[in-house]
A = this chain, B = another copy of it.
């Protein structure tokens, strides 16, 4: 997905707000003492593909996505990085002819160790393909591009 040109029509307000809300809830399922990786993985379709510029190969399917996230959370916990938080912003939404939507947004990962100071751990450019199933948005495809990764 390229950046929306300045003269692209605005999307419906219902769609824009729902996607914001979807992401707030999805990320909330990853962070802090209430993290629930299984519930998080269910915000992806069963056949979803999650790739990035910091992995060798994309994860294909809910189980693989869940496994990778569990490994990442265990790695974070082992490092003692403390309270981990994801922030998203600068959301651009592009509805597609088949009812799916493509999104582009920024993500920041940050963590505060016990008694220590917050450290920003990295910035990611995110592109998603979302589909609607039973009235809920799910991620069918996600690509993460971490800033500062040497090409």
With an 8 Å Cβ cutoff, the count of chain A residues facing the other chain is 68
Residue in contact with A82 in the complex, picked from B25, B32, B147, CB distance below 8 Å = B147
The answer to whether B91 touches A118, judged by C-beta atoms less than 8 angstroms apart, is no
The answer to whether A32 touches B118, judged by C-beta atoms less than 8 angstroms apart, is no
What are 30 A-B contacts with C-beta separation under 8 Å? Answer: A2-B34, A3-B25, A4-B25, A4-B28, A6-B25, A6-B40, A9-B135, A10-B21, A11-B21, A13-B13, A13-B17, A17-B17, A24-B90, A24-B91, A27-B90, A32-B125, A83-B123, A85-B147, A87-B90, A110-B123, A112-B122, A112-B123, A113-B148, A114-B149, A115-B148, A115-B149, A115-B150, A117-B148, A118-B147, A118-B148
